[in-house]
Amino acid sequence: MRVFCRLGAMALGLSVVFGLACKDSGAPVVTTSGLTRISGDTQATLTGQPLPIPLRVRVTGTDGQPFPGATVTWTVSAGSATPGSPTVLSDSQGMATTTLTLGATQGAVVVQAVVANLTPVVFHECASGHPVLALNDTVSAALATTDCRFGGYYTGFFTDFYELTVAAPSQGVVLTQVGATFDTYLELYLRSGSFVGFDDDIDSTNTNSQLTAILAPGDYLLAPSAYWQDSVGAYTMAAVTGPAALAGCELVWVTPGVDVSDSVTTSDCADTANGTYYADVVAMRLEAGTTLKVNHRSTAFDAALFLRNATGISVATNNDSANAGTTTNAFISFPVVTTGSYLLFVGTNDTVSTGAYDLSIASTTTLAGSPREQGPQMLRMGGLRWPKGRAARFWSRPGR
- Write out pLDDT tens, residues 248-281: 888 899 998 899 999 999 999 999 888 899 999 9
CATH number for the region 252-369 comes to 2.60.120.380
Nearest of 15, 11, 114 to residue 55 by alpha carbon: 114
**Residue 286 burial (CB < 10 Å; 0-12/13-18/19+)?**
buried
Specify the amino acid at residue 332.
I
Nearest of 212, 141, 205, 206 to residue 176 by alpha carbon: 212
Instruction: Look at residue 27 in the predicted model and tell me its pLDDT.
Output: 75
Report the C-alpha gap between 197 and 186 in whole angstroms: 9
Tally DSSP H helices, then E strands, for the chain: 1, 30
Strand ranges, E, within 99-151: 100-102, 107-114, 121-128, 137-143, 149-150
The domains of the chain are located at 32-128, 137-242, 252-369
Kindly report whether the peptide bond that precedes residue 169 is cis, defined as omega within 30 degrees of 0. Answer: yes
Cβ-contact 287, 190 below 8 angstroms = no
Paired sense of beta strands 209-215 and 252-254, if any: parallel
252-369 and 137-242 share a CATH fold: yes
Q: Read off the DSSP letter of residue 88.
A: E
Fold of 32-128: Immunoglobulin-like (2.60.40)
Instruction: Look at residue 193 in the predicted model and tell me its pLDDT.
Output: 82
Instruction: Give me the phi and psi of 46, to 5 degrees please.
Output: -80, 150
HSE of 378 in the Cβ direction (CA atoms, 13 Å)? 29
Say what the pTM is.
Answer: 0.82
Cβ-contact 249, 269 below 8 angstroms = yes
Nearest of 163, 157, 128, 175 to residue 225 by alpha carbon: 157
Instruction: Look at residue 26 in the predicted model and tell me its pLDDT.
Output: 67
**pLDDT tens sequence for the chain (400 residues):** 444 343 344 443 444 443 444 445 567 899 999 999 999 999 999 999 999 999 999 999 999 999 999 999 999 999 999 999 999 999 999 999 999 999 999 999 999 999 999 999 999 999 999 999 999 999 999 999 999 998 888 888 999 999 999 998 889 999 999 998 999 999 999 988 888 999 999 988 999 999 999 999 999 999 999 999 999 999 999 999 998 888 788 889 999 889 999 999 999 999 988 889 999 999 999 989 999 999 999 999 999 999 999 888 999 999 887 665 667 899 999 999 998 889 999 999 989 899 999 999 997 654 333 333 333 344 444 334 555 554 554 556 665 4
Cα-based angle 29, 30, 35 (whole degrees, multiple of 5): 155
CATH number for the region 137-242 comes to 2.60.120.380
Give the containing element (helix H, strand E) for 23. helix 2-24
Instruction: Look at residue 145 in the predicted model and tell me its pLDDT.
Output: 96
Paired sense of beta strands 137-143 and 233-242, if any: antiparallel
CB proximity list for 294: less than 8 A, separation 6 or greater: 305, 307, 330, 331, 332, 334, 344, 359, 360, 361, 362
Cβ-contact 100, 54 below 8 angstroms = yes
The SS3 call for residue 384 is: helix
